[in-house]
Amino acid sequence: MNIFIGSKEECDLKGAQEIVNQIKNKPNTVLGLATGSTPIDMYGNLIKKYKAGEVSFAKVKTFNLDEYLGISRDHPCSYYNFMQENLFKHIDIPQDSVHLPNGEAADPEEECKNYEKLIEGSGGIDLQVLGIGHNGHIGFNEPGTPFGSVTQVVDLTESTINANSRFFDSPDQVPRQALSMGIKTIMQARRILLFAYGADKAEIIKEALKGPVTPEVPASVLQLHPDVSVFLDHEAASRL
């Protein structure tokens, strides 16, 4: 595991450069993408690099980690909408190359199976971007999720609902369930870039990177992955 510690701006730039290098080496890269506030400025750098002619996403495919269950793609808080606003609509990626689980699927279990098959069918994820929840969740894999899990319907914990309520008008509007890639799905990515910023992530970063590998801290599984790069600002790294 490589750990880079710098300013948030340095992390956002270095992370974006890693992704650009990956796409230059393999133009038809399959990217795994994350939502949340953490990757927004890193995505902003990807947009700048695209506009500067440094990279094209024309052959890239993307798979997002997760989507809320029961809200439409057009809902302002859907992860589909988040990705359009923060990345996709600003770059040259074809719309049919972007994938998120469908939060309105008539049969969510079936949707999860199909999503997993779609990832496999595209050759698997070359590079997965991750953030981390305060309880150690990656994607929406909450503490206790088995390491062998694949894409599935998950119940959100109260702490995640409260943390994510900042994007909604009130906590009651946050969906209680989501469709999320599983821990095994994430671990099958060939490379993983994990980003964490701010003092409020310091404790969970210490537990995830230096503590025991346990389903109680889902991100601790990353210690077992052969190619993980972690980008931390000084605050998030302050307990290491």
Q: Catalytic residue numbers?
A: 66, 135, 137, 142
Using rule CB under 6 A, residue 132 touches ligand GLP: yes
Using CB under 6 A, which of the segments 24-32, 67-75, 133-141, 220-228 binds ligand GLP?
A: 133-141
> Which of the ranges 21-29, 89-97, 125-133, 226-234 carries the binding residues for ligand GLP, by CB under 6 A?
125-133
Residues 157-196 that bind ligand GLP (CB under 6 A): 160, 164
Which of 15, 32, 133, 215 lies at the binding interface for ligand GLP (CB under 6 A)? 133
Cα dihedral 86, 88, 90, 96, rounded to 10, equals -170
Phi, psi dihedral angles at 140 (to 5 degrees): -115, 35
Residue 128 binds ligand GLP, judged by CB under 6 A: no
Is the CB of residue 174 less than 8 Å from the CB of residue 168? yes
For the CB of residue 63, give the shortest distance to ligand GLP in the complex, in Å: 13
Cα distance between residue 12 and residue 14, in whole Å: 6
Shortest Å, Cβ 105 to ligand GLP: 18
Q: Is 36 in the site for ligand GLP (CB under 6 A)?
A: yes
Q: How far is the CB of 160 from ligand GLP (least distance, A)?
A: 5
Kindly state whether residue 66 participates in binding ligand GLP, applying the rule CB under 6 A: yes
Residue 131 as a binder of ligand GLP (CB under 6 A): the answer is yes
Give least dist CB 165 to ligand GLP, A.
Answer: 11
43 lies in the binding site for ligand GLP (CB under 6 A): no
Around Cβ 92, how many Cβ atoms within 10 Å? Answer: 12
> Cα(137)–Cα(102) distance, rounded to whole angstroms?
21
Quote the CA–CA distance of 19 and 24 in Å, as a whole number.
9
Helix (H) or strand (E) holding 129: strand 127-130
Whole-number Å distance between alpha carbons of 239 and 225: 22
Binding ligand GLP (rule: CB under 6 A), the pick from 35, 62, 97, 185 is 35
d(CA 168, CA 156): 15
Shortest distance, CB of residue 27 to ligand GLP, whole angstroms? 26
Look up residue 65 and give its DSSP letter: S
> What does the alpha-carbon distance between residue 204 and residue 17 come to, in Å, rounded to a whole number?
26
Count of all residues that appear for the chain in the document? 240
Q: Is 15 in the site for ligand GLP (CB under 6 A)?
A: no
| Site residues (vs ligand GLP, CB under 6 A) | 34-38, 65-66, 131-133, 139-140, 160, 164
